[in-house]
Amino acid sequence: MRLRTPADGVCLESPADRYRMVRLIRGFEELALELVRSGDIVGGTHPYIGQEAVAVGVCSALRPEDQLTSTHRGHGHVLAKGADPARLLAELLGRTTGLNKGRGGSMHAADLSLGILGANGIVGAGAPIAVGAAWAAQLAGEQRVVVSFFGDGALNQGVLLESFNLAAMWQLPVVFVCENNGYATTLPAAVAVAGTALGRAEAFGIPAVAVDGMDTEAVREAALQAAARARSGGGPVFLECRTYRFEGHHTMERRLKVDYRPAEEIAAWRERDPLLRAAALIGDPTALDQEVSEQLAQAREFALNSPAPDPAGACDHLYASGLRPRAGAVA
């Protein structure tokens, strides 16, 4: 089972394609929430609901050979770059059929064949990796673009600023995408980020643009320009996508009943739901909704019926050289 994907060069080209992908990510995340509640997904997830326009807008501007690094809230990026939702769901369930054979889980989902260099559990850690992949592209004379997704919390990580400097000094084809959802876990950006997000990039001479992160088309337009600039040797671009997550930082929040966001604030952002905005650009979405619904039902069945890994293989893939570590607790 496989979507038509950006890797095929077709999936996100029309507003209907993009609506479909927004719908798929929304439905996938809702399904994941259900499977967290049922206990099938262990460890929980970081829901992307509300931020879909960023992943879909940015990835619609990419070519199959382009690459990205993602965050711990990465399902949207991974799906929008073309990963198979059934295999991503199987990964969340820790099954052998998962993208990472059940070794990565939600926070480390990767599909190298699609240029997805991995979601990352450390805030900001993907940025230098994206810069490195872009440097490799530059050395190889390839016109690849690498997108580095990160949140507003990463703006305070030193390694992100080091990455800005290296990308700007070496004029590398990187698009830095800050998904500013207003909160670093529970800490509001207003009390965490001195100056502005754009100012951070501008200090390194990187062109910086703010865009409505609830609007797939606006994100796409900005990303197309950024990718074109990077692809033609113009160096990095910084996009600040102003967005919001409708759910908590992590599924654990519901259980803990933590409360740090005003209900009115959540309601106001829900009024600007990217799903509704993407739907408004197309005719009747019923058929697409039905298609996505069936796809997710199949993904659910595939993932839940996939086998769990054999504990004897817990150290498989630790070394690409095939080195087997000495047995420890599993002796």
Partner 1 sequence: MSWLSYTKALNRALADALADDPSVCLLGEDIGAGLAGPTLGLQKRFGASRVVDTPLSEQGFTGVAVGAALAGLRPVIEFQIPALLFLVFEQLVNQAHKFSLMTGGQASVPLTCLVPGSGSRDGWAGQHSDHPYGLFAHMGVKTVVPATPTDAYGLLRSAIADPDPVVVFAPAAALGVRDDVTGPLPVIPLGRARVHRPGTDVTVVAVGHLVHEALALATELAEDGVSVEVFDPRTLYPFDWEALGASLEKTGRLVVIDDSNRSCGIGAEILATAAEQYRLTAPPRRITRPDGAVLPFARELDRALQPGRDQLRHAVHAVLKH
98 binds partner 1 (CB under 8 A): yes
CA-derived radius of gyration, the chain: 19
CB neighbours of residue 310 within 10 Å = 9
**Nearest to partner 1 of 136, 210 (CB atom):** 136
103 binds partner 1 (CB under 8 A): yes
191 binds partner 1 (CB under 8 A): no
Q: Which residues inside 128-187 make contact with partner 1, applying CB under 8 A?
A: 128-137, 139-140, 146, 158-159, 162-163, 165-166, 169
Listed ranges 24-32, 74-82, 275-283, 312-320: which one lies at the site for partner 1 (CB under 8 A): 312-320
Backbone torsion region of residue 69, taken as left when φ is above 0, otherwise alpha when ψ lies between -120 and 50, otherwise beta = beta
Shortest Å distance, C-beta 172 to partner 1: 9
296 binds partner 1 (CB under 8 A): no
Angstrom distance (rounded) from CA 119 to CA 226: 22
286 binds partner 1 (CB under 8 A): no
Cβ–Cβ under 8 Å, residues 122 and 156: no
CB neighbours of residue 291 within 10 Å = 14
**Count of residues engaged in binding partner 1, rule: CB under 8 A:** 50
User: Burial code of 242-264, b = ≥16 C-beta within 10 A, e = fewer?
Assistant: bbbbbbbbbbebeeeeeeebeee
Listed ranges 23-31, 104-112, 263-271, 275-283: which one lies at the site for partner 1 (CB under 8 A): 104-112
Largest CA distance in the chain: 61
**Nearest to partner 1 of 12, 131 (CB atom):** 131
- 3-state DSSP percent of the chain in helix, strand and coil, to 5: 45, 10, 45
331 binds partner 1 (CB under 8 A): no
| Binding region for partner 1 (CB under 8 A) | 67, 69, 98-104, 108, 110-113, 117-118, 120, 122, 125, 127-137, 139-140, 146, 158-159, 162-163, 165-166, 169, 315-321, 323, 325-326
